Amino acid sequence: MEITVTEFCFNNADGGTAISDGSFNNEAYPHQTATVTPIKGWHDYECGWRFIGVSADPQLTSYLEAHGHATDRRVFFSEFDLADRRDLGPLIDFANLQGQ
């Protein structure tokens, strides 16, 4: 499954948090959307559905190679970062299947 997101978090080169909009003193992701493959999901009672994914997009991969951690290239996103809200149902199904 591939999902398109409008924003995401990732680990910066030092292992700290960076946000794709550049608000954590990192270079902003220069594209409006990024495509990711989810690898984990869960419901956070304070923040809604949250997910971890990996790049499914050559532009995102290049960005993470240039600005992200050397070995941990995961991306983190929530239900509010989805470019298409219709993707939330399949993502919830994916997350619920992991717990079985």
Per-residue pLDDT, 12 = 95
31 and 52 Cβ atoms separated by less than 8 Å: no
Say if residue 100's pLDDT is above 70: no
pTM of full prediction above 0.95? no
Q: Look at the alpha carbons of 76, 80, 86, 89 in this order and tell me if their dihedral is positive or negative.
A: positive
Residue appearing with tokens 């970062």: 81
d(CA 63, CA 52): 17
Domain boundaries, the chain: 3-98
pLDDT in tens, 24-83: 889 999 999 999 999 999 999 999 999 999 999 999 999 999 999 999 999 999 999 999
Say if residue 91's pLDDT is above 90: yes
Per-residue pLDDT, 37 = 98
Per-residue pLDDT, 99 = 64
Per-residue pLDDT, 97 = 87
Per-residue pLDDT, 98 = 78
- Residue count of the chain: 100
**3-state per-residue secondary structure call for the chain:** CCEEECCCEEEECCCCEEECCCCCCCCCCCCCCEEEEEEEEEEECCCEEEEEEEECCHHHHHHHHHHECCCCCCEEEEHHHECCHHHHHHHHHHHHHHCC
